[in-house]
Structure 1
Amino acid sequence: MGGKINRREFLKRSTATSAAFVSLSLIGDSAFAHKKSKRHGAAKKVIIIGAGLSGLSAGYELTEAGHEVVILEARSRPGGRVLTLRAPFADNLYAEAGAARIPADHDQTLRYVKLFNLPLVSFYPNDSHFTAFKNGKPDEVNWRKFAERVERSVGVRLGESDAWFKIEGGNDQLPKAFAEKLKDKIIYNAAAVKIAHDARGVEVVFKQGSDYATRKADRLLCALPFSTLKKIEITPRFSPPKQKIIEDLQYDSAARVFLQCRTRFWETSHSNGFAITDQAAEIWPSSFKQPGMRGILQSYLRGDASLALTRLGEQDRIKRTLALLDKIFPGTSGNFETGATKCWSEDEWAGGAWTHPDEKQFELIARPEGRVHFAGEHASHHASWMQGAIESGNRAAGEINEAL
């Protein structure tokens, strides 16, 4: 395994790189070589419900192992909670409405990034001009203090990783790369409504528009949130403990507000646009590492603050965020051009942003029910991360590979 470097050394070396591309060799390239899944026994027919990263990674590995795979996706796109917004922004700008950061130690995520030759850029800038906004006053802080305040305020432990990345061009490039490999195996706008399973196989009824269709297979992988799975009719019902966790598992709320501005006025000798507030909000410029004069500031809220914002209409969400950012970065309203929002608790196919099961819950969530397997960030030790989705997809693919 390649050696790690600390954040300071990484930033020093990546800043010196002439192209806006962060090579995986900087963080131990040999650690991210892809290993193909191996099948034991005969090839199987497998249905996967959900084309998020867990379903896509499992589908990819199962296809590589020689299984016959079909993926049912209720949305018209792949990626699930990996969602990159390009509209209504100008100048080819984009912003992450879902999964945004890739820590340097998330090996399984980076393994596929390498496999698909996706370029990475650093998520955070190489300076100390971060802002902490408390009691109505902004204060310039260094990286360590910024990371500590983010952890206290919103629970994200930035200090645990040596470096942080994002995919150049948008994080949705990763699910799109999977989907390109699996394009003849994915059925979009296909919402599962009924699952039937027994010792002989599985059957899934799904709806497309006003029409219903049925698929049969040897194995089923449920790669969708339990907040959605609990709406599907299951015959016979799973074991009582599994059925209970499906119905009871709670998902956290998260919301994002994006403000396109005509200039990147927040870039000064004392500010880089990254801030943490005492109102449970992280602020960062989504346009960091994107070319052009225009820029996008993003407010990222969780928990009760997110739910309060979700109850507002789109324009009121934007107005509230403008009022907050005017205090942190004066001139935001004067530079504002257009905006967008995403509140995951109101998303029909997500029902929330993520969950944090304890060890006992994890074991129950991940445990197969006969010929039915389970994947998703909720079914991993890296809940809420792309790594968790991929990790669980690989685990479930391994279960199916080893099944008789």
Structure 2
Amino acid sequence: MLPSAPAHAFSLPGAVAGKRIIILGAGLAGMTAAYELTKLGYSCTVLEARDRIGGRCWSVRKGSTQQEVSNPTQTSQLDDGLYFNAGPSRIPHHHQLTLHYCRELGVPIEIYNNVNEGAYHFSEGNGALSNKKIRIREVHNDMRGYVTEMLAKAIDQHALDVSMSTEDVSKIIEYLRAEGGLDADKLYKASARRGYVEAPGAGDKPGKIADPHTLADLLQSGLLAPDFYNVAEYTYELQMTMFQAKGGMDNIAKALEKKLPGIIKTQAVVSSIQNVENGVKVKYAVKGVAQELTADACICTLPLPVLSNIDHNFSSDVSRAVDFVPYIQTGKIGLQFKRRFWEEDENIFGGITHTNNDLTQIFYPSNDYLGKKGVLIGYYNFNDKAKKVGALTLKEREQLALEKGSLIHPQYKNEFETSFSVSWHLTPYSLGGWALYTGDTRQSLYKAFAKPDRQVYFAGEHTTYLNAWMAGAFESARKTVADVHARFTEQRLQYPSSGKSGG
């Protein structure tokens, strides 16, 4: 009864009147659910504990504030017009539903440059190439050359335990020569692929190509470790083309908020969720004043570490899942600089520098190219590194980002102006970046959220296979809206699958 593809305006048959729905959380999932339900005639109330909407879809701007559990309140001193995305910053081209809502809500998008061969790999260590910034294109092309050369030699020597015809061998060798940039003798020599030490120009300036790094140096310097190869060209969700909301990813959340006038209550801290006969009762407080709401159903989009601390009468399966699904520890810091030295001095326009130290990644902005000032994401780290950095004071985080970042960009010292850091696992009403599942917990804990617990339904990235992505919020909201609407219209509707990641 539903159209076959999800990337379109949501259209469910039937309308209702007089049904009340409480939605917990004004992140993308909660607001999308409210947006779609109100179209169908439901009366919705969205309760949000923060004093802002958007949840983890948050762009830090001038005046933004953050209160973590172990640090004083910080207020952003970024210049007017500058920002960085503290939460999601990228939209894959195949997340159709995310792009659909940008289109439907009138949120302009622009290209996000996620893959930049001109950014760096930086490995702290004792190898010949350690403690040096190496252009990504140098590492990638040298390794392609060495590996394809070895494979070509093995084929020539019939050292592969593979039965191939002479024609097949010829085709594979042709491919290897093209892929690795091998010469006529099937040997790897440096080429323009890896860049120039002297750029070509007019007149007698053919350009000068540097010798390749040796395979031994690449290996010993740790540049082939997972720190550097869990990167975009190998990861489905990070392959180009990618997009971002123009002016900040929170513009998507703001556009949803505009569609919900009078529906969202901020600073509403929920303390209890109770299934009652034929409905739901939710207790909450606004600035310390206790209040209570009843409704026909509830959609809970709260992150599970937050929900775990709220009184409820869920079934044992759901309660166990709420308590035992872990969330990743992760953090970012935005660093404002008085000039865009990465563009002016080093020709880096967007993309990511990867390190094996506590920074993990440095993100270069994919907006306002050639502008006067800019904001780098000075670190984006996870797990133990995020835990270690998150335990620092705000000033210590800044000092760490500047100290380690200066090893790559010595311009930091003279160009830095201000910073703002976010540790999501220490942020109230989030308490983590996104849900983490294993193969086993997908078969047990995850399934607890696939169906309602009496009158309480669940949505959010933790109820999808699109964890950490805005797509998860949108996909889950649509599925849950379809389930709620089926309940109250007594129709057996089935949420469609497009057979691809459509968020």
Q: CA deviation at 1:190?
A: 0.5
Please name the residue that 1:364 is paired with: 448
Q: CA deviation at 1:272?
A: 3.6
How far apart are the structure 1 equivalents of 2:426 and 2:365? 22
Which of 279, 288, 295 is the matching residue for 1:217?
295
Please name the residue that 2:331 is paired with: 255
8 Å Cα contact 1:37/1:62 also seen in 2 = no
8 Å Cα contact 1:73/1:187 also seen in 2 = yes
Classify 1:63/1:142 alpha carbon distance in 2 versus 1 (closer, same or farther; 3 Å).
farther
Q: Deviations over 1:334-371 (max 9, x none)?
A: 11011110110111100111112243232223321011
Q: In the alignment, is residue 206 of structure 1 matched against residue 195 of structure 2?
A: no
Residue identity matched to 2:456? V
Residue identity matched to 2:386? S
8 Å Cα contact 1:39/1:402 also seen in 2 = no
Please name the residue that 1:321 is paired with: 401
Q: Larger deviation: 211-220 or 353-362? A: 353-362
8 Å Cα contact 2:98/2:471 also seen in 1 = yes
TM-score normalised by the chain length of structure 1: 0.86
Please name the residue that 1:300 is paired with: 380
Please name the residue that 1:16 is paired with: none
Classify 1:353/1:109 alpha carbon distance in 2 versus 1 (closer, same or farther; 3 Å).
same
Classify 1:313/1:37 alpha carbon distance in 2 versus 1 (closer, same or farther; 3 Å).
farther
Q: In the alignment, is residue 152 of structure 1 matched against residue 141 of structure 2?
A: no
Please name the residue that 2:348 is paired with: 271
Residue identity matched to 1:401? H
Classify 1:123/1:398 alpha carbon distance in 2 versus 1 (closer, same or farther; 3 Å).
same
Q: CA deviation at 1:34?
A: 2.0
Instruction: For structure 2, list consecutive stretches of 5 or more residues without a partner in the other structure.
Output: 63-76, 125-130, 145-222, 489-503
Percent identity over the alignment is 28
8 Å Cα contact 1:354/1:383 also seen in 2 = yes
8 Å Cα contact 1:125/1:272 also seen in 2 = no
Please name the residue that 1:396 is paired with: 480
Q: Deviations over 1:116-136 (max 9, x none)?
A: 121111111786312111132
Please name the residue that 1:166 is paired with: 244
Q: Secondary structure, in 3 states, of the residue corresponding to 1:259? A: strand
Please name the residue that 1:383 is paired with: 467
How far apart are the structure 2 equivalents of 1:207 and 1:150? 52
Residue identity matched to 1:283? I
8 Å Cα contact 1:221/1:375 also seen in 2 = yes
Q: Secondary structure, in 3 states, of the residue corresponding to 1:384? A: coil
Please name the residue that 1:14 is paired with: none
Q: In the alignment, is residue 81 of structure 1 matched against residue 70 of structure 2?
A: no
Which of 300, 304, 309 is the matching residue for 1:226?
304
8 Å Cα contact 2:93/2:241 also seen in 1 = yes
Please name the residue that 2:148 is paired with: none
How far apart are the structure 2 equivalents of 1:121 and 1:150? 32
Q: CA deviation at 1:289?
A: 3.4
Q: In the alignment, is residue 60 of structure 1 matched against residue 35 of structure 2?
A: yes
Q: CA deviation at 1:279?
A: 2.1
Residue identity matched to 1:398? A
Please name the residue that 1:344 is paired with: 424
Instruction: For structure 1, list consecutive stretches of 5 or more residues without a partner in the other structure.
Output: 1-29
8 Å Cα contact 2:115/2:240 also seen in 1 = no
How far apart are the structure 2 equivalents of 1:186 and 1:300? 31
Q: CA deviation at 1:91?
A: 4.1
Q: In the alignment, is residue 142 of structure 1 matched against residue 120 of structure 2?
A: no
Q: In the alignment, is residue 285 of structure 1 matched against residue 274 of structure 2?
A: no
Residue identity matched to 2:120? T
Q: Larger deviation: 354-363 or 92-101? A: 354-363
How far apart are the structure 2 equivalents of 1:156 and 1:203? 46
How far apart are the structure 2 equivalents of 1:318 and 1:38? 53
Please name the residue that 2:89 is paired with: 100
Q: Secondary structure, in 3 states, of the residue corresponding to 2:348? A: coil
Classify 1:124/1:287 alpha carbon distance in 2 versus 1 (closer, same or farther; 3 Å).
closer
Q: Deviations over 1:80-135 (max 9, x none)?
A: 00110112211411100111111111111111001012111111178631211113
Residue identity matched to 2:451? R
Residue identity matched to 1:227? P
Please name the residue that 1:90 is paired with: 79
Q: In the alignment, is residue 191 of structure 1 matched against residue 265 of structure 2?
A: no
8 Å Cα contact 1:275/1:283 also seen in 2 = yes
Q: Secondary structure, in 3 states, of the residue corresponding to 2:402? A: helix
Q: Larger deviation: 377-386 or 359-368? A: 359-368
8 Å Cα contact 1:287/1:297 also seen in 2 = no
Q: In the alignment, is residue 177 of structure 1 matched against residue 166 of structure 2?
A: no
Q: Which has a greater percent of strand? A: 1
8 Å Cα contact 2:115/2:232 also seen in 1 = no
